[in-house]
Amino acid sequence: MEITLVQGLLLSLLAFICSLDQQAEVFLIFRPIVVCFFSGIILGDVQLGLSAGAVAELAYLGLLTIGGTVPPNPLIAGIMTVVISYTSGVSAEAALGLSLPFALLGQWIGMILSTVYSGLMPIADRICERGDVAALGRLVILSAIGKSLVTAVIIFLSAYLIQEPITALVEKFPEWLIHGFRVAGNLLPGVGLALLLKVMLKIDNVAYLFIGFLIATYIEMGNVLPIAILAVCITFLSYINSRDQKAYDGGVDDDGI
């Protein structure tokens, strides 16, 4: 299917708004699970947006910006996963693998812009010396708008102007290569979850991980919602027990009064 000019502009506007949020990290609407949903609405295929958002969010779940490290851009990856799947007809998993070059492009451009924006620091220092808070705010806002405009241009060029070459290239891929991208797309959510667990998993919680894995593997379920509800219940019980234990420990008096 083909993306119209209006759809391309709407995707660019979506990328611009989400890029502003990506820099502020207030509403987290730049995450793939959200941006893919809105991309699906723009393209008229909400089901595709939901499925692409699920696989893309899992793939980029553990990729965090820590210090000077810049991960592949999840915003661009999410939108391009929907776009490639929509225009080429491949599955969301295969489109996720094909969207990786665009995510890396966003990563490289982000690093270039960060390097360029470092030249604004002397200007910011002079503004701070004058005590002009309004001017400093304008400098920060204009810098964020500039980066968001670059992201919007990337999405417009990738989603609308070069959609025909991308579609033609994907159609020329042999079936074994498409299957390889599909396999890679299926593996990426596991990699993303593993990266997240590497950061947050504690030895005390390993048992819960295996319980969830066993339930999902050996019990036939149409979806993971029952597992999620069970996890919420276990978490709530663990919180209640921990709170009661702290209250009990705090109520002990050495004098017995």
Domain match, 83 and 113 both:
yes
**Best-predicted range by mean pLDDT (100-109, 168-177, 199-208, 223-232):** 100-109
At residue 172, does pLDDT exceed 50? yes
pTM of the shown model: 0.80
So what's the pLDDT on residue 249?
63
Report residue 132: phi and psi, to 5°: -90, 90
Q: Give the model confidence (pLDDT) of 100-138 as tens digits.
A: 899 999 989 988 998 899 899 999 999 999 999 999 999
Task: Tell which wins on pLDDT, 251 or 112.
Answer: 112
More confident residue, 35 or 206: 35
Tell me how far apart the alpha carbons of residues 102 and 73 are, in angstroms, rounded to a whole number: 8
Q: How far apart are CA 28 and CA 31, in angstroms?
A: 6
Give the pLDDT confidence score for residue 235 in this predicted structure.
86
Same domain for 194 and 238, yes or no, is no
The pLDDT of residue 69 is 67
Judgement on whether residues 185 and 211 belong to the same structural domain of the protein: no
* Residues 41 and 73 grouped into a single domain: yes
Does residue 213 share a domain with residue 118? no
Residue 180 and residue 239 in one domain:
no
| Same domain for 229 and 192 | no
Q: What is the mean pLDDT of the chain?
A: 87
The DSSP letter of residue 60 is: T
Residues 77 and 128 in one domain: yes
pLDDT, tens only, 188-209: 888 877 877 877 778 878 888 8
Residues 72 and 149 in one domain: yes
What residue type is 51 in one-letter code?
A: S
Q: What angle do CA 34, 38, 43 make, to 5 degrees?
A: 145
Question: Looking at 36-40, 144-148, 186-190, 231-235, which range is the least confident one?
Answer: 186-190
Query: How many domains is the chain partitioned into structurally?
Result: 2
Q: Given 181, 201, 221, which residue is the final one in a domain?
A: 201
3-state class (DSSP) for residue 129? helix
Residue 217 has a pLDDT of: 80
For range 10-29, the mean pLDDT: 94
Distance CA 61, CA 81 (A): 15
Say how far apart CA 104 and CA 99 lie, in whole Å: 9
CA–CA distance, 252 with 254 (Å, rounded to integer): 7
Q: Residues 217, 113: one domain?
A: no
- The pLDDT value recorded for residue 256 is 45
Mean pLDDT check: name the lowest of 41-50, 57-66, 100-109, 247-256: 247-256
Of residues 64 and 229, more confidence is placed in 229
Is the residue at 236 inside a domain? yes
Q: What is the CB neighbour count within 10 angstroms for residue 90?
A: 21
Report the pLDDT value the prediction gives residue 248, as an integer from 0 to 100.
64
**Residue 59 sits in the same domain as residue 38:** yes
Domain that holds residue 228: 202-251
- 131, 117: one domain: yes
Range of lowest pLDDT (38-42, 78-82, 148-152, 175-179)? 175-179
Judge whether 256 lies within some domain.
no
Residue 72 domain flag: yes
- Of the pLDDT bands very low, low, confident and very high (cuts 50, 70, 90), residue 84 is very high
Give 255's DSSP letter.
T
Q: Residue 66's pLDDT is what? A: 63
